[in-house]
Amino acid sequence: MTNASAAVRGFGPVFVLLFGLQFISMGAMEMSGPFWPIQIKVLSPSDSVFGLASVAVYVGPMIGMSLTSALWGRVGDRYGNRLMMVRALGGLAVTQLLVAVAQDVWTIMALRFLQGACAGYIAPAQAYGVQITGGKDRASLFAWLQVATNVGSLGGAFLGGLILDRFPFAAVNLTAGVICALCAAVGWSSLPVPAPGAIAANSGKAVAAKPTASTGVPIAALLALMGMLLASRTVLQVPFSLYMTQVFGTPHWVAGLTYGLLACGFVVAAPLWARLFENRTPSYVLGGNMLISAACVLVTYLAGSAGSVVVFAFLYFIWGTLLGGTTPVLLALVSAAVANDRQGSVLGLAQASQQIASASGIIVGVGVTQLFGLEAAFLLVATLYAMSFLSALGIWLKTAHPKGS
């Protein structure tokens, strides 16, 4: 509560609205997140179609978003990130309602791709937040916006499980579509349009708050590291609910609750990580992410060896606390490297690269689990985190000991 109150005082009342919109809309979308394989299994006429569709239902939106995020970012820089937020929420609402009435896997796959292409809410929300705050404490700002996403993920997955235990799968998507439509209406009517003069003034005040030598780290290297970390996380996106039901024999609501514990751990830890890394040098942040990656190797390996659902859930929560120190702080370094009037473009590019990485993680995860079984998923995750550790180490060495120094 203290951290939340400090965030409200530091960022102002618009932050409350931004946080609320992100929390509610992302929670609505996550209601169906862990359960798509179950629905696809019911609708698929064969195992081969199920294998393709269970991947496409997750990868499709990511590919659509990766193709359009940079474009929407440039449009946001020109016409306003507030408009892009409302557009994205409207796109989510329409496509989610259409998905609810779709009764074959091919239509669902097409609509999920379209959903990603029309969406892309998070990047303009981040860019809008930077404009409103003038770039002040952007690591904390990004952390709190990610907290909103993960709180929504926690509640949405649990609520989706409860709905699915009592109603058809279409009820989950119908509910999500209505919620996103309401969020679009609230955003259009309530979010203030940033005043150009105020943004410029805030930008000047915020220069001193940038991390020292933030431009010393190539943006491409930071995006690559974020991509590796995200790919490691999304390996379990498709097999998670199947792993919970087949390995532990859990009901849907337990699977949804456990799925949300990753987000819960993120929520608890992200503001603390942001405070630790705020205004630190890039080498300090990269060194911290190097240690976090090493810890993720150990935690995910232990989770894959757990024989109790209670131990598994606890380790899943710990994994979430570690992830709170990765994407938000690395994204803050990327954001700090460019001017405020280019935030939409760079954050749109970051979102596009993240979606490509997430899709890659899902594809690799499905391929490995189909070839070697569900038990191989966590070994794969641990291996990818080991690669992230080596990547962070390489970037850290270049940053801490640049050539010619």
**Confidence class for position 192, pLDDT limits 50, 70, 90:** confident
- Would the pLDDT of 50 be above 50? yes
Is residue 28 situated within a structural domain? Answer: yes
Confidence band, pLDDT 50/70/90 cuts, at residue 198:
very low
What is the model's pLDDT at position 195? 65
- pLDDT computed for residue 204 by the predictor: 42
Amino acid identity of residue 15, one-letter, is F
pLDDT at 242 over 90: no
Between CA 105 and CA 97 the distance in angstroms is: 15
Hey, how many other C-beta atoms are within 10 angstroms of the C-beta on 101?
Answer: 11
pLDDT of residue 295: 96
Residue type, 118: C
Helix/strand/coil percent split, the chain, to 5: 85, 0, 15
Least confident range from 61-70, 85-94, 250-259, 291-300: namely 250-259
Residue 7 has pLDDT above 80, yes or no: no
The confidence score (pLDDT) of residue 388 equals 92
pLDDT digits (tens, 9 = 90+) for 246-293: 888 888 778 878 877 887 888 889 888 988 888 788 888 889 999 999
- State pLDDT tens for residues 361-405: 888 888 888 888 888 889 999 999 999 999 989 888 887 665 554
Asked if 172 contacts 160 with a C-beta cutoff of 8 angstroms, the reply is yes
Q: How many percent of the chain have pLDDT more than 70?
A: 88
38 located within any domain:
yes
**Residue 151 in contact with residue 336, Cβ under 8 Å?**
no
Look at residue 247 and tell me if it is in a domain.
yes
pLDDT of residue 200: 41
Give the model's pLDDT for residue 203: 41
Residue 67 lies in a domain: yes
Please check whether residue 125 lies inside any domain of the structure.
yes
For residue 4, being part of any structural domain is answered with no
Q: Place 5 in a pLDDT band, splitting at 50, 70 and 90.
A: low
Is residue 155 one of the residues assigned to a domain?
yes
pLDDT reported for residue 15: 78
Q: Tell which residue, 188, 60, 38, has the closest CA to residue 115.
A: 60
Q: State the pLDDT confidence band at 65, using cuts at 50, 70 and 90.
A: confident
> By residue range, what is the domain housing residue 72?
10-400
Residue 220 tokens read as 């491409």
Q: How confident is the model at residue 183 (pLDDT cuts 50, 70, 90)?
A: very high
Q: Residue 84 pLDDT > 80, yes or no?
A: yes
Q: How far apart are CA 162 and CA 404, in angstroms?
A: 60
Rounded mean pLDDT of the chain?
Answer: 82
Give how many domains the chain has, as a whole number.
Answer: 1
Is 177 a domain residue?
Answer: yes
pTM: 0.71
Which pLDDT does position 340 carry in this prediction?
A: 66
> What value, to the nearest 5°, has the Cα angle with vertex 165 and ends 22 and 311?
75
Q: Please give the pLDDT value at position 401.
A: 63
Inform me whether the pLDDT recorded for 209 exceeds 60.
no
| pLDDT value, residue 302 | 93
φ, ψ at 217 (rounded to 5°): -105, 125
Best CA proximity match to 20, nearest among 181, 148, 121, 160: 148
Res. 215: pLDDT tops 70: no
Across 297-324, average pLDDT: 92
How sure is the predictor about 216, in pLDDT bands with cuts at 50, 70 and 90? low
Give, in degrees to the nearest 5, the angle at Cα 275 between 273 and 277.
Answer: 70
**CATH number of the domain that 372 lies in?**
1.20.1250.20
